[in-house]
Structure 1
Amino acid sequence: MARPSSYSHLSAAWLPAAICLVLVFAGWRAFGIGMADWWSRQNPEAAMQWRPDHAEAALKAAEVAVYADPKSEAVARWSRAAISAYPLDGRGYRVLADAAGTAPNLGKVLHEIAAERSPRDYMSQAWVINEALRTSDYSRAMAMLDRLLRTRPEIAHHLNPTLVSLASTPEAQPALAATLARDPPWREARFATIIGAASSGLALSPLMSALRSTPRGVSAGEQAAWINRLVADRQYGVAYLAWIESLSPEQQQYVGNIHDGGFEQVPSGSPFEWQLQDVAGAQIARARVEGGSGAESLRIVFDERSREFAHVTQVLLLAPGSYRLSGRERMLGIDERAGMNWAISCAENGQPLAQSTGFSGNHDWQAFSADFEVPAPGCEAQRIVLRRTAADPSAVSGAAMFDDLSIERR
C-alpha cells in the first residue's frame, strides 16, 4: 500500500521541474528563431548559426553570394540549403538554376519549378516570360504576365515595356486580345498605357479590331484613347473613320463639320467630339440655359480666379475650301478686358485660319459668324478652340454661354 503513495510523491516532485524544462526549451527555441529572423536581414550566415534550417537566411546568403561572385560554390550550397529548409518556396530553385555547375537543361527545369512555386516572385516569373517570348510562345507569355499582374499589381509599371512590345507585334496581338477579352482587373489601367506607348496608333489597329469582336468589346474610354493616339500620330483619316464606326445611330445624327454643335451629347473623350477640360477658376458644363436650343447649351462660369482659358476644343476634318463658322452666344458680366472668342487653326502647324469677334458684356442671345479658308496643302485637320482673347492677365468673373455652332461650306 506504500508504493502508490511513493509514486504520487515522485510525480508531484518532478512535474514542476519538467514543466520548467519545457518552458526553458520553448523560450530558448523562440529566442533562437527571433535571433535568426533578425540576423537574416543583416547577416544571413550568422542567422544560420542560430537556426541552420532558416530558409529565408539561406536564400539571402545565396543571393549575397550571387552578387559577390556568381560563379562561387557558395551560391549552389546556400540555394540547396534554402530548398532543403523550405522546398515549397521557388526562390531557392531560381537561384540554383543560375548557379555555376548547373547544367542548362536542369537549369530550365529549376526555373520552371521556381515559377510554379513562387507566383509572386518577379524574378522567377520573368525568366519564364522571357523564355516564352524568346520562343514566340505568346499565349504562355501572356498567361504568365496576367498571373503576375494579378498577384503583384504594385510592380505593374515594370511590365509595361513587355506589354507594349506585345501590343505592337502582329503575331502577339491575338494572345494579348484573348487575355484582355477576359477583362482582367489590370485592363483599364494598363491598356491606356499600352495605347500611349505603342510603336504607333496604326500598329494597334488589328488589336482593336480583335477586341471589338469579343463579348466585352472596347470601352468608350479605350476607343477614345486609341483615336487620340492616331490624331497625335497625324493619322487623321484613319482616326476619323474609326471614330465614325464607334458611334451609335443616334450619335451619328450629330455628325457634321462640327460634331454636336448644340452640345446635346455627353462627350466620350474622342478628339472629334467636344473636349471639356478642367481648369482652375472656371466651371465648364453642358447645361440647360434659358433661350438655348434643344436640351443643353455650353455654359462656362468664371469665379474670379481664371487667368488663362483655352479648354473647350474639338478636332475638325475639313476639306480645302471656303467656310463660315456661325453660332449663338450669351454673356453675363464678362468684362471686355477678359473677352473670349472661337478660333480655328491647322492642327499640324497651328496656322491661324479664323477667329470670331470677341464676346463680352452683359446681353441676351446673339448670333455671330466668321468666314475662313482652309488651304489645300498642310492643313489636313483643324482645331477649334474657345479661348480668352485679352492680353490682360487679370482674373475674370461672369458667365458665357454658347449654342448652335456650325460650319457650313460657302
Structure 2
Amino acid sequence: MSFSWIFRRRTLGGAAAAGLGGALAALALAWRPVIAPIPVPPPSSFSTDQVARGATLADIGDCSVCHTAEGGRPLAGGRPLATPFGVLYSDNLTPDPDTGIGHWSPEAFKRAMKDGIGRDGAHLYPALPYEHFTHVTDADLDALYAFLMTRQPVHAEAPANRLIPPLGFRPLLAGWKLLFLHKGPVPFDPSHSAEWNRGAYLTEGFAHCGACHTPRNLAGGEEGSRAYGGGVAEGWRATALDASNPAARAWTRDALYTYLATGISPDHSAAAGPMGPVIKGLSTAPEADVRAIATYIASKMLGREAAEPSPTLIDNTAAAAKAYTAGATLFAGACAGCHSQGAPMLGQGRPSLSLASNLGDGDPTSAIQDLLQGIEPPVAGRGPKMPGFADSLTDAQVAEVLAYIRARYTNRPAWPGLEKAVRVTRKEGAEP
C-alpha cells in the first residue's frame, strides 16, 4: 500500500467529514422547535378594545388582501402569489383548528410574525413580510392575534406551493434570513415630530410599504441601499417613493393623505392595481395614523418639492398626433370621452393625464396594466372608474395608444420596445 494512496484516502475522508459537519451545522442552524398546540381560545378571552386595535392594524397591514382567495372567505387563505421563484399560496389565518391558526399560542404567532417560523417549526416564505413585521411591538402583535382569533373559523386547506426546485426545501430559508432578516425596533428619531415617528413605525412595520416599493436583488431580498426606489408588485410597477418619484407635481403631505384615504389625488392620479386594496384598508384606519404615514413618506421625497412645486399641465396634441397617427385615432375612439380637454367627465375627480405618475415613469409596466386591466375605485363611490381594454385592443394597439399618450401628456422620451413590454405584461397578468 503506497503512501500516496493512504494520503488520498485520508484527504477524502477528511473532506467527507468536513462536508458532513457542514451539513449538520446547516441543519442545526435551520432547526426550530415545535411550539405545543393550545386549545382554541374563546373569543370572550380577548377584550373589545384589543380586538378593535387589532382590526385597525390588520387593515393597515393588508392582511385580508393577501389571505383571501378570489371568491373565498375572508382570511381563509389560498390566494396565489406569483413570484420569480414560483407560485406561493397564502395560509389560512382564521382560528380553524385543523387548517388555520386555532391551536396557535400568542408565542407561536409572534414567532411567525417576527422570525418567519410556523408553529410546527417550519420556515415560512417571505411572501409573509416578516422582514417588516419583525419591527413591530409585541403588544401590537397581541392585538392582531386577538383580532384573528375572534374571526369566524373557516376550514380551508391552501393548495401546495409550486416553486422552482430546490426552493421547496424550507430549511434553505434559514440562510436567506441570515442575509436579509434584520431584527429590531424602528428607531425613534428625536429630530422629527411624534407624528413622523408614528408614521415611520407604521410604514416600516405593519404597512410594509418597502416590501413593494423597494427594489429586490436576485435572491429576493430588499436592497436596503435603494430603499423606496421603486419595485414590483403583482405584475405592476410600484412607484419610487424617494426623490426619484416620477410624479409631474411633487407630492405633499396633504396630497398623500388624500390619496391614501380616498384613492385619488386631484394633483396626481387615481390608485390602481395592488394599491387599490391598500387604499381600501387605509380608508377605514384612524385619520391620525394615515396622516402619520403620509408625513413619513412625504419626507422620503424631499428634494422634489422645491424644484417642481406646480408645473404647467402638458398637452402636446399636434406633435403627438403627427408622430403616432394610429395611437391618436385609437385614443379618440376609446379614451377622449373621459380624458381630452373639455371632456364632461374630466372634472369629476379625474386628474389630467399629464399628472399621471405612471406616464412619467421610465418603466411602462403600470401604464400598460392601467390600459389592460382598467381602474376600479378602491372605496365605493369614491374616485373614477376606467374599463380595461385587454379584450378589445391588441398588443400593437395598446402600444400605439400608450406611445401617443406618453408623447402628448409628457415631455419624456418614448418608451423603447413598448409592444414587447405590452406582450410580456399581458402574459404575466394572466398568471398564475
Q: TM-score of the superposition, structure 1-length normalised? A: 0.23
Q: Over alpha carbons, which structure has the higher Rg?
A: 1
Relative contact order (C-alpha < 8 Å, sep 6+): which is higher?
Answer: 2
More strand as a share of residues: 1
Q: TM-score of the superposition, structure 2-length normalised? A: 0.22
